[in-house]
Structure 1
Amino acid sequence: MEWIYYDSKTGNVERFMQKVAELTGWMIQKIHPDIEVTHEGHLVTFTTRFGEVPETTKAFLQYASPYLRSVSSSGNRNWGSNFALAGDKIANEYGIPLAFKFELSGTNEDVNEFIGIIKARKHYGNKRGSQELDFAQ
């Protein structure tokens, strides 16, 4: 059983995580100031302000980073080189492997790729470009 901790502001990451949970049965938990982390897991967050890590994610990382096996991030390709940059910044600062990057709430293909990466325990930056966002339902 995998545990995924996630941060979502606009609902994009939350929609992505709900689809992951539906397909896998994994435990997903939205981070909040009072969250108690007792299981190792993976972090999925959004990117804010042209490539920055959200403040809520930073606060979570202060105490939870030792429990995290990977980080994935959402972003908008309109930001160019800042696309989903929060994941890169977290990986560099905390030494947590970068697993995956996806746009907005991702596609079904993104969801399946993320699941495959976590199951295989392979963490790497995704270079594939999703053009069609097909599951923001």
Structure 2
Amino acid sequence: MQDWIYYDSKTGNVDRFVHKLKAQTGWFVQRITEDLSVSQPGHLITFTTGRGEIPESTAKFMQQNATFIKSVSASGNRNWGLNFGRAADIVSTLYDLPVLFKFELSGSMSDVQQFINKINEYHEYHGNEESHYC
């Protein structure tokens, strides 16, 4: 099964994480753009901005494409304390999605492997429930 990863990146941290992920798995990765309309179910990776807020670009993407998103993950900085990766928590609450993973900055190779494991666990738990996303 090929997974789709939709991602938003401002400083390049999420971009670097996603490209490490793609190199390990061959999964499809698509950077969020203002006019992106998706047709494949996938997982969202975003970043946290401000004081633990969702980036405006991620918010717009979710308004248009939420029905295709199966989980949310976020990059952050542990120096932000409780706001670390908080964008994932907010998206999770707004769209009733599981928070799959949070990683610091661009993530380590260990983080990439943990994310892959989380995606695989998601599929084991949810099976092929993808029909309601179409």
Alignment of 1:58-73 (within 5 A): 58-73=59-74
User: What is the CA-CA distance between 1:63 and the residue it aligns to?
Assistant: 1.1
- Partner Cα separation in structure 2 for residue 119 and residue 28 of structure 1: 16
RMSD: 0.8
Q: Which runs of 4+ in 1 moved over 6 A?
A: none
Give the structure 2 partner of residue 107 of structure 1.
Answer: 108
Matches within 5 A, 1:1-137: 1-121=2-122
| Residue-by-residue CA offset, 1:95-136 (whole Å, 9 max, x unaligned) | 0111000000001110000001001217xxxxxxxxxxxxxx
Give the distance between the partners of 1:4 and 1:34, measured in 2 at CA: 17
Whose helix proportion is higher, 1 or 2? 2
Contact 2:6 2:44 in 1 (8 A): yes
Cα offset, 1:38, TM superposition: 0.4
What percentage of residue pairs aligned between the two structures are identical? 52
What is the alpha-carbon distance in structure 2 between the residues aligned to residue 57 and residue 88 of structure 1? 13
Q: Count how many residue pairs are aligned between Structure 1 and Structure 2.
A: 122
Could you tell me which runs of 5 or more consecutive residues in structure 2 were left unpaired when the two chains were aligned: 124-134
Q: 1:62-118, CA deviations, whole angstroms, 9 ceiling, x for partnerless residues? A: 011110000000000111110010000100111011100000000111000000100
Q: How far, CA to CA, are the matches of 2:55 and 2:65 in structure 1?
A: 15
Amino acid of the structure 1 residue aligned with 2:19: Q
User: Which residue number in structure 2 is paired with residue 131 of structure 1?
Assistant: none
> Is the partner of 1:81 in helix, strand or coil?
helix
Q: Distance in 1 between matches of 2:85 and 2:37?
A: 26
